Structure 1
Amino acid sequence: MTATSQYSRYSRGLEILRQIGGENFDEPINSLAETSVDLSRFTVEYPYGDVLSRPGLDLPLRQLCTISMLLADGSAQPQLKFHMAGFLNAGGEPKALIELMFISVALLGFPPTVNAIGLIRAVFAERKLAFEPIEPSAGDGSTRRQAGLETLDRLSGGDVQAYFDGFAAGSPDLAQLSIEFAFGEMLARDGLDQKAKLFAIISMLAASGNRAATLRLHLAGALAHGVTREEIIEVLIQLSVYRGFPAALNAFAVAKDIFAAGSATIGANVPPPAVVESRADRLERGRATLAKTSGSSGDAVVRTFDDVAPDLGRMIVEHSYGEVFSRSGIDMKSRELSACAALAAVGSATTEIPLRVHINAALNVGATREEILETLVNLIPYSGYPATQQAVRIAAEEFSKRG
């Protein structure tokens, strides 16, 4: 590579970084250069000079993909906040950031989404941006199954029936919840245009790793609904920047199969639920379940979303507690211990606060400190000593607070 071409990469990258970073765009790379000049240069040349400068996608859409990838990471809060601000600097709409959170709930869960809402608040506050909360959804929730089937048809492709049959055989309820909640509420929203929504979904799934079946479904859906192969390739090249080449190469392998097979949208025949409930029924049951585990503090946490998107708080109660935690298959103590194990196993920055919440909830519903510690120690063979030690430290701190 000639000195001229290297300079061109750097200068091109610096210009993209300026568009994203705004007035103090060079602070991160200058800070990095104090430790490693080469890494600072690489950070400009490859991500910005080679990838984000490519013409295949516009800059706001690229930023939306970047945010989606970093949400899946779960422990990149400074970078996530930087790119949220960068999305606005590149011309993105504030409302789109909030709408992206609903997709995050469906694909990544509540912990990273709740954490990201705090970052959005900080970005808005720093910009002195007045933001009107997104109005709660109208209606009683009785149409969400039909909305879910229609959304599935719009966003998915390939053999949808085979996909759902795969887990419906083991848990018909899981298929039902996926249709009604993930597709019928989260992904059915119209706050993002369809192409942006498809790119966000692909970005989150590809960045999550080991989601090949679901990624395959949505890649086929993207092709069936107007996204080009070239655009998908651009998203996956960008994935190499934010989740590394292994994740990008794995996603490319899935995409290659989809490109070879072509795609056709096929509706899924998921049997209707035996009992059709209203939103009010689910909310009432969710509030009762939440009160058992967290007392009045749980409802207070839910209300903290009222300034941005009240529906997010409502969905935590209605779905997590009204549809999942309230199920009768295992007792409440076992559910809370399972939640502690799952959160500790993920071990990201976004799961620390939820882990603290569920450690206390486990104690509230009758788990002993010894049972919680044994649950966490059981992670050693599967998540390793560092993750287990971190979880035990958090548990010890919560025990200490209770005396």
Structure 2
Amino acid sequence: MTSESHEDRFSRGLEILRRIGGLNFDEPINALAETSADLSRFTVEYPYGDVLSRPGLDLPLRQLCTVSMLLADGSAQPQLKFHIAGFLNAGGEPNAIVELLFVSVAILGFPATVNAVGIVRSVFAERELAFQPIEPVTGDGAGRGATGQDMLHRLAGGDWQDYFDRFATAAPDLAQLSIDFAFGEALARDGLEHKVKLLAIVAMLASSGNRSDALRLHLAGALANGVTREEIIELFIQLSVYRGFPAALNAFSVARSVFALGVQPLQVDIPTSVDTESRGDRLERGKALLAKSSAASGDAVVRSFDDIAPDLGRMIVEHSYGEVFSRKGIDLKTRELSACAALAAIGSATTETPLRVHINAALNVGASRDEIIETLVNLTAYSGYPATQQAIRIAAEEFAKSNPSSRPRSEESE
């Protein structure tokens, strides 16, 4: 490609952009050209003309990988919407986009996933797409430990035992929870082709940053389960477009070490868990805790996803509240304050709404406004002032909604 002219690369890129962008495909680059004609040209030449036009991955699969990368970004909602629509324009099936959200639950967590549900809804609505919601799973969920072990063997490679052992002393049941929920539920679904799921996992991890250990193991799993070295290389070249060259170079560094070892069979010796309670038990406990902390109906949370995938709502209530927040190690107020700190520290667009939810939940379970403020102010040295200022602004807005006449003590003393 180095001997090609700008015009050749631009023309090829424009054709790929047309396939992805559909009607008015050139509107964003024309708007950009009003400010920077060069950047507008670069945006077509390199991402579309140099990368997405490469033959190593077909266009629908590339688009699904792009969506995976943007889900991990957390603050690129307009681009995420464009590329979800672009996946459909390139011939992708709507069900695949929804199934990708379950991979996101396991790898990225619920805030990124739930935020994406609203974007998926808007894309489907704008296309007047008659989407049939993904059917919820059946059964009582008692066999998820065995399912998780099976899925671990189908998706993973390398020394997972060493990976689990490094945190087992501090959190002995975290490995089991990872197998039971992440592999046994979120990743165990069969709505995505095997290669697509493997590449999506790798794309999310490589895009998240600072996930080298998990990325290394999932790359080993991808190679052991049918993904080629060439496909991984194509994925990481594409990563340079949507998450930047630093992320791509770091991913290539990890990949190089994995490629050097060749195919690595899975090494793990975690006993299969024997479930002592059903999904219904976990769900009811989650509903009770959600009502206590957020004064919210668990049934309403589940039903809010009925048009896309009811299991997403069920997982939020059953796993987040019925299995994690209900643990006995710390009290509920401390859990809510730690949730506020975590969401504020991330500081992405996907965490703004959950931060509002958990600020109010902290108030509901006995945290004072001053305790919430001090929890957030404590982030300044670790997340920077802009992230902290944004979190405090959100907290102030939520305080005003609940009682406009009441302010934190720090304000009252001024």
TM-score, normalised relative to structure 2:
0.95
CA gap of 1:371–1:262, structure 2 versus 1, over 3 A, is same
Amino acid at match of 1:28: P
Would you say the 8 A contact 1:302–1:313 is kept in 2? yes
Other-structure match for 2:192: 192
1:4-403 correspondence to structure 2 within 5 Å:
5-273=5-273, 276-296=276-296, 299-403=299-403
Amino acid at match of 2:156: S
Alpha-carbon offset, residue 163 of structure 1: 1.6
| CA distance in structure 2 between the partners assigned to 1:299 and 1:281 by the alignment | 14
CA gap of 1:158–1:4, structure 2 versus 1, over 3 A, is closer
Amino acid at match of 1:46: Y
| CA distance in structure 2 between the partners assigned to 1:380 and 1:130 by the alignment | 47
| CA distance in structure 2 between the partners assigned to 1:221 and 1:4 by the alignment | 37
Q: Which runs of 4+ in 1 moved over 6 A?
A: none
Would you say the 8 A contact 1:149–1:267 is kept in 2? no
Amino acid at match of 1:334: T
Number of equivalences: 403
| CA distance in structure 2 between the partners assigned to 1:382 and 1:4 by the alignment | 46
| CA distance in structure 2 between the partners assigned to 1:202 and 1:284 by the alignment | 34
Alpha-carbon offset, residue 3 of structure 1: 9.6
1:198-239, Cα deviation, whole Å (9 max, x unpaired): 010000000000000110011001111111111100000000
| CA distance in structure 2 between the partners assigned to 1:365 and 1:243 by the alignment | 39
Alpha-carbon offset, residue 32 of structure 1: 0.6
| CA distance in structure 2 between the partners assigned to 1:274 and 1:297 by the alignment | 30
Alpha-carbon offset, residue 281 of structure 1: 1.2
Other-structure match for 2:410: none
Amino acid at match of 1:296: A
Amino acid at match of 1:64: L
| CA distance in structure 1 between the partners assigned to 2:276 and 2:152 by the alignment | 20
| CA distance in structure 2 between the partners assigned to 1:302 and 1:398 by the alignment | 24
SS in 2 for 1:268: coil
Amino acid at match of 1:209: G
Amino acid at match of 1:328: K
Alpha-carbon offset, residue 266 of structure 1: 2.0
Alpha-carbon offset, residue 275 of structure 1: 6.0
| CA distance in structure 1 between the partners assigned to 2:42 and 2:237 by the alignment | 16
| CA distance in structure 2 between the partners assigned to 1:138 and 1:272 by the alignment | 21
| CA distance in structure 2 between the partners assigned to 1:296 and 1:350 by the alignment | 20
Amino acid at match of 1:377: V
| CA distance in structure 2 between the partners assigned to 1:370 and 1:299 by the alignment | 32
SS in 1 for 2:173: helix
SS in 1 for 2:180: helix
| CA distance in structure 2 between the partners assigned to 1:259 and 1:345 by the alignment | 35
Would you say the 8 A contact 2:286–2:298 is kept in 1? no
Amino acid at match of 2:331: D
Would you say the 8 A contact 2:149–2:272 is kept in 1? no
Would you say the 8 A contact 2:298–2:317 is kept in 1? no
Would you say the 8 A contact 2:160–2:267 is kept in 1? yes
Amino acid at match of 2:314: R
Alpha-carbon offset, residue 297 of structure 1: 5.1
Alpha-carbon offset, residue 161 of structure 1: 1.5
| CA distance in structure 1 between the partners assigned to 2:365 and 2:120 by the alignment | 33
1:31-60, Cα deviation, whole Å (9 max, x unpaired): 111111000000000000000000000000
| CA distance in structure 1 between the partners assigned to 2:352 and 2:372 by the alignment | 15
Alpha-carbon offset, residue 169 of structure 1: 2.5
**Cα RMSD (Å) of the superposition?**
1.4
TM-score, normalised relative to structure 1:
0.98
| CA distance in structure 2 between the partners assigned to 1:273 and 1:91 by the alignment | 41
CA gap of 1:169–1:271, structure 2 versus 1, over 3 A, is farther
| CA distance in structure 1 between the partners assigned to 2:169 and 2:215 by the alignment | 20
CA gap of 1:2–1:226, structure 2 versus 1, over 3 A, is closer
Alpha-carbon offset, residue 264 of structure 1: 2.2
Would you say the 8 A contact 1:149–1:268 is kept in 2? no
Amino acid at match of 2:332: M
Alpha-carbon offset, residue 272 of structure 1: 4.6
